[in-house]
Amino acid sequence: MGWDFETDPEYQEILDWVDEFVREEVEPLDYVFPHKQFDPMTPEMRRIIDPLKDEVRRRGMWATHLGPELGGQGFGQLKLALLNEILGRTLWASVVFGCQAPDTGNAEIIAHYGTDEQKAKYLRPLLDGEIFSTYSMTEPQAGADPTLFKCRAHKDGDEWVINGWKYYSSNAKTSTFLIVMAVTDPEVSAYQGMSMFLVPTDTPGVNIVRNVGLFGEPINEGYHALIHYDEVRVPADAVLGGEGQAFAIAQTRLGGGRIHHAMRTIGWAQQALDMMCERALSRDVAGSKLAEKQFVQGFIADSYAQLIQFRLFVLYTAWEIDKYNDYKKVRKDIATAKVVMPTVLHDIAWRAMQVHGALGVSNEMPFLSMVAGAGVMGLADGPTEVHKVTIARQVLRDYEATDGMWPTEWIPGKIEAAQQKFAHVLDLEVGNL
């Protein structure tokens, strides 16, 4: 029997330390340096944050998703899931633990596809937490359907020249390099005709035109860049993983990114449920505590049920990734976790907000950012609808059409088959009468 829902005691001890460390030491960063986790560190920030990172390293918990050859522990995805659900409660925690999006996914593909020179130049400082990186794939006119991408790179002597537009390139304003997906051969199918380039952000011609923000952030001060690549020249060896490999690389990149978001979302949704329960037990209305009202009990029960199903499914999917060591084999379940995630977060945050009354919709509680976060989760790394199509296609692979007029489970057909199967006995019974 291989099923086991227990965390091994040694790792549980580490998780208990992480839980306390995040609550006591990391969560306060969200209030002194709000939304600054991808900004270059000021000396003041360094004085506070560097010792926290050192402590994480000392405990062996820095970048644990990576193998030992890259400075991590090689813990794999299941242990990362148990860690990430704790880190997901705060904005700063994944940066302090060296496993923040989008850098984890970017590091993964450089580790997998990069040359030794590319690894030395980009991967090492990324893993050391000294720089940030950007994944620049979506374009203003196309996101969900990459076959419509237009950003083009052509060869000129020993160089590639990149021209085009990219949209929602997260953290470009503070990142040191960009991974840019561009059409290199328009004559073949998009699946073979695009390549990935490693481009230092300060290369002439990389023009950040706007820094798009999310709901509530000031215009043009967000972290999701609209970039115009205008005659951007990079050397021939800036190609990542070989010409025409962009699609294959993107699948590796996005598989990991999607499940990591799901892991962190467990923690965020749990935080909403915790707040809902605390408020329900604390607030009196119409002669009793909110916790005694059946509507509120329904909110709590539905939220718990959604969260526990989601959590177990994400842990199972992480376990599958470790087992197969191949995102493609787990594509259906990664897509399923991705599809379920926004609804779970939205529903629980929405109910928690409602239980808090007017305070809940104020900017003094985090519920509306959670609800907006659910919207983001339904789009970042691909929209829900596209993932549903993937799930359905994969599910349908295990089925075949019937030849005849009636479905296999048609009851009259089943009765006839059963009567035929036992005809010899049934005939005897009849004969005895």
Ligand X SMILES: Cc1cc2nc3c(=O)[nH]c(=O)nc-3n(C[C@H](O)[C@H](O)[C@H](O)COP(=O)(O)OP(=O)(O)OC[C@H]3O[C@@H](n4cnc5c(N)ncnc54)[C@H](O)[C@@H]3O)c2cc1C
Q: How far is the CB of 255 from ligand X (least distance, A)?
A: 14
Window contacting ligand X (CB under 6 A); options: 18-26, 165-173, 277-285, 302-310: 165-173
**Nearer to ligand X (CB atom), residue 108 or residue 381:** 381
**Amino acid letter for position 302:** D
| C-alpha–C-alpha distance, residues 47 and 104, integer Å | 24
- Under the binding rule (CB under 6 A), the answer on residue 258 touching ligand X is no
| C-alpha–C-alpha distance, residues 54 and 319, integer Å | 29
Yes or no: say if 108 and 256 are a contact pair by the CB < 8 Å rule: yes
Yes or no: say if 223 and 380 are a contact pair by the CB < 8 Å rule: no
**Amino acid letter for position 429:** E
Restricting to residues 190-209, which ones interact with ligand X according to CB under 6 A? none
- Under the binding rule (CB under 6 A), the answer on residue 213 touching ligand X is no
Yes or no: say if 232 and 203 are a contact pair by the CB < 8 Å rule: yes
Q: How far is the CB of 383 from ligand X (least distance, A)?
A: 3
**Nearer to ligand X (CB atom), residue 41 or residue 379:** 379
| C-alpha–C-alpha distance, residues 26 and 87, integer Å | 9
Site string for ligand X, 214-233 (x = CB under 6 A): ----------x---------
Beta bridge partners of 152: 163, 183
Rounded (10°) CA dihedral 406, 408, 409, 410: 20
Site string for ligand X, 320-359 (x = CB under 6 A): ----------------------------------------
Q: How far is the CB of 219 from ligand X (least distance, A)?
A: 16
Among 41, 291, 379, 391, binds ligand X (CB under 6 A): 379
**Nearer to ligand X (CB atom), residue 148 or residue 426:** 148
**Nearer to ligand X (CB atom), residue 169 or residue 303:** 169
Beta bridge partners of 232: 162
Closest CA to 162 of 111, 231, 212: 231
CB atoms within 10 A of CB 312: 12
- Measure Cα distances from 167 to 154, 163, 170, 263 in Å: 21, 14, 9, 26
Site string for ligand X, 57-96 (x = CB under 6 A): ----------------------------------------
Rounded to 5 degrees, φ, ψ at 338 are -65, -40
**Nearer to ligand X (CB atom), residue 52 or residue 226:** 226
**Nearer to ligand X (CB atom), residue 173 or residue 224:** 224
- Under the binding rule (CB under 6 A), the answer on residue 386 touching ligand X is yes
Binding site for ligand X (CB under 6 A): 102, 135-138, 143-145, 168-170, 224, 376, 379-383, 385-386, 389
